[in-house]
Amino acid sequence: MNEVDNVGYLGIDVGSISTKGVVIDKDFRIIAKTYLRTQGQPIQSIKELLTKLSSQVDRKTKIFGAGTTGSARRLAGIMLQADIVKNEIIAHAIAASYFHPDASTVIEIGGQDSKIIILRDGIPVDFAMNTVCAAGTGSFLDHQATRLGIPIEEFGGRALQAKNRVNIAGRCTVFAESDMIHKAQLGIATEDIISGLCDAIVRNYLNAVAKGKEIKPLILFQGGVAANIGVRKAFERALEQEIIVPDHFLVMGAIGAAILAQEATDSKKTRFAGFEIADIPFQSRAFECEGCPNRCEVIETLKEEVIIDRYGDRCGKWSEL
């Protein structure tokens, strides 16, 4: 096999709850894929992700491009020396359009936020995000599953066993939990409560995130919550449309970043520092600048105790390394 057949493109999506990574070949086929929890340590999770991906990739495979996305995309980009750093909207839209060219709507619900992307002819024309409240996100579902003593993997299936429709307040995490406790004290079946919670999550999403958006089929459901069949069925009931969960729903952002990396390099030399950076010490720290009344919080990234990136200052005093 010649060198051109051993080409790979790396994509990493680092969020507050999970860190996802893929390596795709020149035809966008996935040759390595990893998903793990960030656990409040993005640097460590990025390094662990690189180690796991490296173990899945043939030694003859050469990475010709690297891209990052997610809430910690800048940090990941600096560590990897990525060729491109893009926001989650673009990354998810790119991946959705590749796997489903006729997609018109992307519903994405992750660990701490949710978003909607409106596509027309494969181009994102509108979007909205909810990052203020965690109600209806993956972390909220994890918490409720723990409170009910049910493994999160069984949550969706239990919702499908519901015999009755129960209304659960879903606009706020505190109110939802209080309402669930109240319904349980009334003797309402756990399956009915879980199903009501799935309906509440969908209702909250449609009112807070998708309000005013033209939701047209084909509709894709991406992100960690897409694994919950109860929430998917609740979306189908509310929208009266079929909801498609892509095969790689957990890592669509990472796939989009990898596709963008291929477009960014286009046979040019990559900046990617190599999987070996998993063994290099990195550190992030913050300090408050006292140079003016703004008192900006400046974030520094260090590689082997050498500052390689600064950001957060409004005037550029610190970020201009």
48-62, 82-96, 267-281, 307-321: segment of lowest average pLDDT: 307-321
Look at residue 115 and tell me if it is in a domain: no
CA gap 174, 176 in Å, rounded: 5
Whether 21 and 53 share a structural domain: yes
Give CA 137 to chain center in angstroms. 11
Whether 274 and 286 share a structural domain: no
**Beta bridge partner(s), residue 243:** 219
**Could you give the C-alpha distances from 294 to 288, 289, 291, 318, in angstroms and in order?**
10, 8, 8, 14
Whether 52 and 153 share a structural domain: no
Residue 286: partners with Cβ closer than 8 Å, 6 or more residues away? 297, 298, 299, 300, 312
Identify which has the larger pLDDT, 233 or 170.
Answer: 233
Domain count, the chain: 3
Return mean pLDDT, the chain. Answer: 90
Q: What's the pLDDT tens digit per position in 160-219?
A: 998 888 888 766 666 777 888 888 888 889 899 889 888 888 988 898 899 999 999 999
Residue indicated by tokens 């999403």: 205
- pLDDT, residue 35, reads 94
Look at residue 31 and tell me if it is in a domain: yes
- pLDDT, residue 1, reads 42
Q: What's the pLDDT tens digit per position in 63-104?
A: 999 999 999 999 999 999 999 999 999 999 999 999 999 999
Question: What is the domain-level CATH number for residue 233?
Answer: 3.30.420.40
Look at residue 51 and tell me if it is in a domain: yes
- pLDDT, residue 176, reads 74
Q: What percent of the chain has pLDDT over 70?
A: 94
Whether 197 and 269 share a structural domain: no
- Structural domain range at position 31: 3-94+253-279
Whether 301 and 229 share a structural domain: no
Question: Would the pLDDT of 230 be above 80?
Answer: yes
Whether 287 and 274 share a structural domain: no
Look at residue 113 and tell me if it is in a domain: no
Whether 164 and 142 share a structural domain: yes
SS3 of residue 83 by DSSP: coil
- pLDDT, residue 232, reads 95
CB of 223 closer than 8 Å to CB of 108: yes
CA gap 242, 218 in Å, rounded: 8
Q: Give the pair of three-digit tokens for residue 307.
A: 């500052």
CA gap 256, 304 in Å, rounded: 30
Whether 35 and 22 share a structural domain: yes
2-6, 13-17, 257-261, 303-307: segment of lowest average pLDDT: 2-6
CB of 264 closer than 8 Å to CB of 83: yes
Whether 72 and 158 share a structural domain: no
Look at residue 125 and tell me if it is in a domain: no
Per-position b or e across 78-115, b if 16+ CB within 10 A of its CB: bbbebbbbbebbbbbbbbbbbbbeebbbbbbbbbbbbb
Arithmetic mean of pLDDT, 252-258: 97
Question: Would the pLDDT of 155 be above 80?
Answer: yes
Whether 234 and 205 share a structural domain: yes
